[in-house]
A = this chain, B = another copy of it.
Amino acid sequence: MYVCSANVVKVDRHYDKSSSALAVEALAPVVEACGEPDALVVSTYLSRYQESFGNLGALLAEYLGFKGEVYEVSAGEASGGAAVALAYKLVRSGLKRVLVVGVDKTNDFQSKKAVKHLQTLLSPYESFYGLTYAGAHALAASLYMKEFNVSREELAHWAVVMHDNATAVPHAQLRFPVTVEKVLNSNSVAEPLKLLDSHPFSDGAAAVMLTSETSPVALEVAAASSKLTLAERDLTFMESAKAAMEALGNPEPEAVEVHDPFSVAGVIALESLGLAPRGKGIKYLLENAHSVNPSGGLKARGHPVGATGVYQVAEGFLAITSGLGKLGKVSSFLAHSSNLMGATTYLTYMREV
């Protein structure tokens, strides 16, 4: 199985474009490069809450003049990864070319509203009692720092490295450097997490075409699930990430994009994937600064929720075919798409053919 082509729209505040317009902008060059697909897989999560419209797969098929099979997929924040995994299965089942497009917008409302929409990711019982999406990550950060004796200053390095990587990536949203001091002095989002530990509100769309025809980038996928309810799991480790990585045969990628809506999630992801020892995620990051989230990650490239996982795979394609930001060209790449801190995980492993 192969990736034929990929394309990303700059992650930004696209006040002047609808979700469908962004999606078409992302997918058109991919169809141009690879030809018409046999199936269309659309990934979105927030668009239903934001646009009073819920039939995006059918609308994009119309815009594309496409008459084949259409599937609209979601898996919370990991919707993009789920869509790529599903497209992979569609090609495995006998189709020649499957187009994946992921899209979401979070800036069409005040951030207060977007925060409420992100709360729809949480287990209903925990959400009902007032837990928020940022609050969930703050609990994980507190526990992680205590359990592994990691200081608040050390954790801030995640943001410093992500912003630095993003400065070299044209499609990233936050292309400015930050310092540890600046992170620690930014507004509090949910103690101990600060604004600069957090992903921005992002609008974006990305597209990739998977194909059974030989192409410069081969891929494998794996997926696993754990529990959604936070009270039922160890917040410092993502079982589903470990299980999916084992299903892939524990590859050793040259570079990785991990799901880091908040600094702590990225650190725990590196450890759950087995790339860094437990408690040593930040140390691993500092030793591999350009190969961990070369795009800047959700933290600095941005997090257009339902599109994020497709961005990661598109970035892997870019890194292998022509280089990505400060990373340059690599021959293998792992994309880690995670739904609410590992409730479900979808991995895509790509390598140069």
Seen from chain A, the residues whose Cβ lies within 8 Å of a Cβ on chain B are 18, 20, 40, 45, 48-49, 51-55, 57-59, 61-62, 66-76, 82, 85-86, 88-90, 92-94, 119-124, 127, 223-229, 232, 239-240, 243, 339-340, 343-344
Contact = CB atoms under 8 A, between A and B. Distances in A.
A58 B339 contact: yes
A86 B85 CA distance: 12
A52 B85 CA distance: 26
A225 to B, nearest CB: 4
Given A227-B62, A228-B58, A340-B55, A71 B70 contact: no
A55 B122 contact: yes
B229 A62 contact: yes
Contact of A124 (B59, B61, B232, B239): B59
Main SS at interface, chain A: mixed
B343 A48 contact: no
Given A67-B243, A86-B71, A243-B67, A45 B53 contact: no
A171 to B, nearest CB: 26
Contact of A52 (B40, B70, B120): B120
Nearest to A79: B72
A68 B246 CA distance: 12
8 contacts: A52-B127, A54-B76, A55-B343, A58-B343, A59-B123, A61-B343, A89-B89, A93-B93
B122 A61 contact: no
Contacts of A339: 55, 58
A52 B18 CA distance: 22
Contact of A226 (B67, B75, B123, B224): B67
B49 A75 contact: no
A54 B305 CA distance: 13
Contacts of A226: 62, 67
Given A89-B90, A90-B89, A228-B59, A120 B72 contact: no
Most buried by B among A45, A89, A226: A89
Contacts of A49: 48, 54
Contacts of A57: 74-75, 344
